[in-house]
Amino acid sequence: MCGIVGYIGSRPAAPLLLDALKRLEYRGYDSAGIVTLTDKFNVKKDSGKIAEIDSRLDLADLPGTCGLGHTRWATHGKPSQRNAHPHVDSFGRVAVVHNGIIENYLEIKQELKKRGFTFRSDTDTEVIPNLISFYLSRKLSPEQAVRRALSQLEGSFALGILIRDNPDKLIAARKESPLIVGLGKNEMFIASDIPAILPYTKRVIVMHDEDLAVLFSRALIIRNLKSWRRTVRKPTLVKWTLEMAEKGGYPHFTIKEIYEQPAAIRETLRSSPAEISRLAALLLRSKRFYMVACGTSYHAALVGKYALAKLADYQSEVVISSEFQESCRASAGTTVLAITQSGETADTLKAVRVAKASGAKIACLTNVIGSSITRESDVVCHTHAGPEISVVATKTFAAQVAFLLRLAIETARCKRTITSSQARQLMVELQELPKVVERVLRSTERPVRELAQKLKDVEHIYLISRGIGYPTVLEGALKLKEITYIHSEALPAGELKHGTLALIEPGTAVIALIPPGDARSRMIGNVEEVKARGAWVIGLTDADADVGAHVDWLITLPRTRELFSPLLYITPLQLLAYHTTVLRGQDPDRPRSLAKSVTVE
């Protein structure tokens, strides 16, 4: 996730682009840059937060009345000056800002190098201006050169494009990444999101997938990239305030990020097959394999452990980072995978350093390219959830789980515990999950809101499940604790009888997560166990399960494999935590005493 913005009109472009970028910073904040077009491209860019870069480079001090801006959340290539956008092709003909991921950029780069193009960055984006430049050199019109180049790209993009020899137009295109056009008086804008341009215009056209827009200061032409048919779209009048707009119309970042989970899963699954293969190979070479993590990342690691054991018959140990030093031994032949969305958690960095000193190989899975953990690691892997602003982790959990499920499939394929065709089938089903999660979000929102009304004043909530449902309820309980401040405790349902059952009284709230799988009938036995003590039981299960008769409140989810169930079943629990918090009059984005990234031990 990155933020892009563009302007064409009669005002000085750079100050306006800088102002717009500041409002897009929530979409990414590891680098930023601006390009304006006069008789040449004028570029200022660097790594860091926009304010820091601006105080160093004076970003607004660029000539010209048309330009592009970008605020980056790195996906390919660490945050640095040369990887920051905008990118200009080797011959200075085309400038581009990009949000998205180009999957086949390495092949395109090879081809272009053979044709004399040179590359200055490690990004996937840099192939785009060079490919357009190549088609311009073949005498194609700017629009056709862009169209031909984009037809070769696999992946997702929202693009702002300037062509040196056509300073009267700005070209924009989108596929799977958001982009809007803003219509002003004798001026036009593009942006990833409405807040960027809200002070300048409220008349907005939302671009559709496969749209190509050509913006002149007084005209706009939109075509479909494939059919080249022209479309006329009526602008919408935006009524949002600036604050509402930053949150995409949602009242809080927490709920916005819960709704961004399908995209986080999709982007993570489509990116970096090479990272997965490298990590699977390392696992299979290792004598011992630990996953270390804290908080939500620890729960994702537990899902990974179940998946590796079940699919690949592969034994791993999951350790809370702060306990690693006391409880674990590492040596040559040990691999430690650190899972950390921020890449900065002190406890996890410490565990890794301890393991490294004993000769272990280090791998990491992080959402932040270039974060501290990547510098400690031999193998670096990424989730692609985009920046997570809310303190509680939601979409990064989904992305971590998606990555680990994919890792388990690959490890199982390499180990031949499943056949290649079974692996392919599992991958097909996994790639379908973002759509299923979208359905879950739509179908559970209302019943969960009603449930939140019932639970908002309780003092305790117990969550039970079995198997791969156990890490899911652990994560659900953590969400509830973090933002509702209601005491929430998750446990494997089989453990109830060893202690917690003593706390179940008439009216005690118990959430029973009953995903498909061998443990279902035993779970129903556990539901009866708490019901016999008077518990008020909320069941989460799929449409086929005959669970309704055993519970007091039922939330129904689509059918899925047991292995994939955490991605579906966590969603209503996150929604429940969110809605209960709002009903209690608390701020879900800023829970008391907690921080997003804990950099002290």
Question: Is there binding between residue 292 and ligand G6P (CB under 6 A)?
Answer: no
Per the annotation, the verdict on 2 as an active-site residue is yes
Q: What is the DSSP string of 136-162?
A: HHTT--HHHHHHHHHHT--B-EEEEEE
* 65 touching ligand G6P, by CB under 6 A: no
> Of the two residues 254 and 297, which places its CB atom closer to ligand G6P in the complex?
297
Assess 570 for contact with ligand G6P (CB under 6 A): no
For CA atoms 46, 51, 57, 59, the dihedral sign is positive
Find out whether 96 and 86 touch, Cβ atoms under 8 Å: yes
Coil, strand or helix: which one is 445? helix
> Given candidates 69, 182, 295, 516, which one binds ligand G6P under the rule CB under 6 A?
295
Selecting among 49, 454, 531, 596, the annotated active-site residue is 596
Nearest to ligand G6P of 259, 397 (CB atom): 397
DSSP string covering 540-582: EEETT-TTGGG-SEEEEE----GGGHHHHHHHHHHHHHHHHHH
Residue 71 interacts with ligand G6P (CB under 6 A): yes or no: no
For ligand G6P, which residue of 31, 65, 271, 342 counts as binding (CB under 6 A)? 342
Residue 71: CB atoms within 10 A of its CB come to 33
Are the C-beta atoms of residues 534 and 506 closer than 8 Å to each other?
yes
171, 188, 294, 380: which one contacts ligand G6P (CB under 6 A)?
Answer: 294
Could you tell me which of 367, 268, 370, 387 has the C-alpha nearest to residue 28?
Answer: 387
Contact between 590 and ligand G6P per CB under 6 A: no
CB of 592 to ligand G6P, least distance (A): 12
Q: Using the 8-state DSSP alphabet, how is residue 9 labeled?
A: S
Name the burial class of residue 415, with classes exposed (0-12), middle (13-18) and buried (19+) by CB atoms within 10 angstroms of its CB.
Answer: middle
Phi first, then psi: give them for residue 86, nearest 5 degrees. Answer: -70, 155
Our finding on whether 574 is near ligand G6P (CB under 6 A) is no
- Minimum CB separation of residue 386 from ligand G6P in Å reads 14
The window from 107-115, 290-298, 457-465, 484-492 that contacts ligand G6P (CB under 6 A) reads 290-298
Is 162 in contact with 170 (CB distance < 8 Å)?
yes
Verify binding: residue 304, ligand G6P, rule CB under 6 A.
Answer: no
Half-sphere exposure of 451 (CA within 13 A, CB side): 25
Minimum distance from residue 257 beta carbon to ligand G6P (Å):
11
268 binds ligand G6P, rule: CB under 6 A: no
Q: Tell me: does residue 353 bind ligand G6P (CB under 6 A).
A: no
Q: How far does the chain reach from its first CA to its final CA, in angstroms?
A: 30
CB closer to ligand G6P out of 297 and 484: 297
Q: Which two tokens stand for residue 377?
A: 């690691």
As separate numbers, helices (DSSP H) first and strands (DSSP E) second, the chain gives 18, 25
CB nearer ligand G6P, residue 193 or residue 388:
388
Instruction: Choose the stretch contacting ligand G6P; rule: CB under 6 A; options: 27-35, 73-81, 289-297, 542-550.
Output: 289-297
Whether 414 sits among the annotated catalytic residues: the reply is no
Q: Does 472 bind ligand G6P (CB under 6 A)?
A: no
392 vs 523 by CB, closer to ligand G6P = 392
* 133, 156, 261, 296: residue in contact with ligand G6P (rule CB under 6 A): 296
Q: Which spans of this chain sit near ligand G6P (rule: CB under 6 A)?
A: 294-297, 340-342, 345, 348, 391-393, 594-598
Active-site positions?
A: 2, 596
